[in-house]
Structure 1
Amino acid sequence: MGIKHVAPVGVLLAATALLGAPAQARVADAPAAAGSPDLRTGAVPVAARHEKEPVGGSRLGGRGLILPGGVKAPPKTAAKSYVIADAETGEVLAAKDAHGRYLPASTLKALTALTLIPKLDKKLKITPSRRAVNEEGSAVGLVPKPLYTVEDLFKALMLVSGNDCAMALAEANGGLATTLADMNAEARRLQAFDTVAKTPSGLDKPGQSSSAYDLALIARAGLANADFRRYISTKTDKFPAPKGYYEIGNHNKLLWRYKGMIGVKNGWTSKALGSFVGAAKRDGHTVIVSIMRHDGYFWEEVADLLDWGFANRGKVVPVGQLVDPVPEPAPLPTGPAASAPPAAPALPAPVSAQDPAAATRPADEGVPVVYYALGVVLLGGLTWLMYGLRGRSRRAR
């Protein structure tokens, strides 16, 4: 008796599970959107880190010199990696090991500034901590007194590469851990996936990295920010001191030597060697050059690369593209719309209203054939169930 009724129920459960399977498979098999990082944590999906095509185009995955056809190669440079790009269009005009990961040194301060400028009030007074004052490496000479505004610290960060200013700004932003999380989230928003910030100053630390491609992305985003652009293009300024002030000067030598130079940032450590990212504007057009891992004096070489960029922008087929930042997520609905129940899912049209030929199509066209087969199984199960109930009723009389 019991067995007669278990079988139809099992058929019904199996049919229900199978009917739901195609929809579940479509969700599970749908590819994740490439380059869609979690902006809250800064984590990058594995699929985004290991895409078949490098960020910016397939050619940028090469390690050697990457050139457009039919043009003379850029001037030689001792840099292990570089990118020449058109800032307006984002076109990468030439590159060498564009996505090679290297220690960024103080060029990382461009990311620090880009991250913190929107978060901190420029007029806020800062009292640097002992830790910030004693930060190793290049420094502007902070003292633990309330002498400085956020504006002062940003200027010294970008002009004289103050590591003490980097730490003081990080502390003003809620601490080192918070600031590093913010910097890495900003890098992911920019799709600068080669960049990992372990310090706000660029001082060498295991696991820290960037690339010539990422430095160009960061510089391009920074140029769109008026405060960032003002800081990097300032040649000299006054900096507060316990008794008055003293003058500071920008370490970017091309601000004095290269026509149209806007600025950005240079860097050097004994492990990273020389690095630089800069932008210049001529005849209404801006070119970005970034270099990494240079073992000597690079200023003239950067100037030559900029010249090549201006001579060839708009004339050559680009070898890649500086990608745009990840779009900001749409705001969640508020008010009555937020509390309204979700709309009922649309029901499929009756079989009679569908294409009569649908049942003979392959499973990936129209309504899958398996749906019809499962309907037959379901109908048979129901018939079996009704037959068993009638037999039981007769015996009970």
Structure 2
Amino acid sequence: MKKIGIFLCLIFLWSNINASAITYPKITSQGAVLMDINNGKILFQKNGHGRYAPASTTKVMTALLALEKCKLDDNVIVGKNPPLEDGSKIFLTKGEVLTVDQLLYALLLHSANDAALALAEHISGSKEEFAHLMNERANQLGCKDTNFLNPNGLYESKHYTSAYDLAQIASNAMKSSKFREIVSTLSFDIAPTNNHPEIRHLHNENKLLYSQKYKYPNADGIKTGYTIKAKHTYIGSATRNGKTLVVVLLSGVKGYYKDA
């Protein structure tokens, strides 16, 4: 199968060819960064510090904070707000009890907006307080073009980030073996809960992991995103011989996987 987009360059980079000698492909996404997370070096960028709506790639920061602040077997009691979230969800109900681990799989595989808010309220008590925590953590990571207002990426005009900042966030999340395990998992089942008698079957939406058309053999993550106003967003990763590269694409059009 023909390989596509920025990840074409991985073959050359992993062969220790000078990155400056590589001709990178033209891409349709408005913002893009390719980063070597082993040393933080930026190998390619297009409007790397431009501010764009991140859509569900926001959830990488939510997951990072959940992994830093919680134990995987902690129980989360769903409040009244998560069931009201729009968009992609696993249809949580008020009073339902799930573990942090289960909610992380829902967050990163199914891109569940209700799971994101359940985790946020469990950690900080409210969406607003969690957003403050997200921005505080982003600042610690050196993010200068980021402002989070919610844990799931549902569109708000002042909720934005840059390809460079998302690469920094994703690189730090990938330091967690649990995070890497989740984002490379193709499917996961959430067992019945106190309020939900059936198994919830989750499937990874990252086509670079499984799609016959787009699959890249070294791909191992990370997160897709889409809203009408944010357009298509994506964070991808690939690892070979101990070297991991992360690509971030923001404000992309249909077929944006060809940029990856």
**Normalization by structure 2: what TM-score?**
0.86
**2:237 aligned partner:** 279
1:216 pairs with 2:167: yes
Q: Which structure has the highest strand share of the two? A: 2
CA distance in 2, matches of 1:110, 1:266: 10
CA distance in 1, matches of 2:64, 2:150: 15
Superimposed CA distance per residue, residues 265-297 of structure 1 (whole angstroms, 9 cap, x where no aligned partner): 111100000111111101221111111110212
Matches within 5 A, 1:184-333: 184-241=135-192, 242-256=196-210, 257-302=215-260
Q: Report deviation, 1:223.
A: 0.8
Identical counterparts, % of pairs:
33
Match of 2:106 among 153, 156, 169: 156
Matches within 5 A, 1:59-138: 71-138=21-88
Which ranges of 4 or more aligned residues in structure 1 deviate by more than 6 Å? none
Superimposed CA distance per residue, residues 5-64 of structure 1 (whole angstroms, 9 cap, x where no aligned partner): xxxxxxxxxxxxxxxxxxxxxxxxxxxxxxxxxxxxxxxxxxxxxxxxxxxxxxxxxxxx
Q: Residue type of the partner of 2:197?
A: K
3-state SS of 1:130 partner: coil
Structure 2: 5+ residue stretches without partners: 1-17
3-state SS of 2:222 partner: strand
Q: Residue type of the partner of 1:110?
A: V
Q: Residue type of the partner of 1:295?
A: V
**2:131 aligned partner:** 180
Q: Report deviation, 1:119.
A: 0.9
Superimposed CA distance per residue, residues 318-352 of structure 1 (whole angstroms, 9 cap, x where no aligned partner): xxxxxxxxxxxxxxxxxxxxxxxxxxxxxxxxxxx
CA distance in 1, matches of 2:95, 2:120: 17
Superimposed CA distance per residue, residues 168-208 of structure 1 (whole angstroms, 9 cap, x where no aligned partner): 11111122222111111000000111111001100111211
Q: Report deviation, 1:233.
A: 1.5
**2:121 aligned partner:** 171
CA distance in 2, matches of 1:133, 1:270: 22
CA distance in 2, matches of 1:220, 1:126: 27
CA distance in 2, matches of 1:253, 1:145: 34
How many pairs were matched up?
Answer: 235
User: Pairwise CA RMSD of aligned residues?
Assistant: 1.6
3-state SS of 2:238 partner: strand
How has the CA–CA distance of structure 1 residues 272 and 205 changed in structure 2, closer, same or farther, with 3 Å as cutoff?
same
Q: Report deviation, 1:69.
A: 8.3
**2:93 aligned partner:** 143
Superimposed CA distance per residue, residues 64-100 of structure 1 (whole angstroms, 9 cap, x where no aligned partner): xxxx986343122110111111111211111111100
3-state SS of 1:139 partner: coil
Q: Report deviation, 1:301.
A: 2.3
Select the structure of larger CA radius of gyration.
1
Contact 1:279-1:287 within 8 A present in 2 as well: yes
3-state SS of 2:28 partner: coil
CA distance in 2, matches of 1:137, 1:69: 40
How has the CA–CA distance of structure 1 residues 129 and 93 changed in structure 2, closer, same or farther, with 3 Å as cutoff?
same
**Normalization by structure 1: what TM-score?**
0.57
Contact 1:184-1:197 within 8 A present in 2 as well: yes
Q: Which structure has the highest helix share of the two? A: 1
Structure 1: 5+ residue stretches without partners: 1-67, 303-397
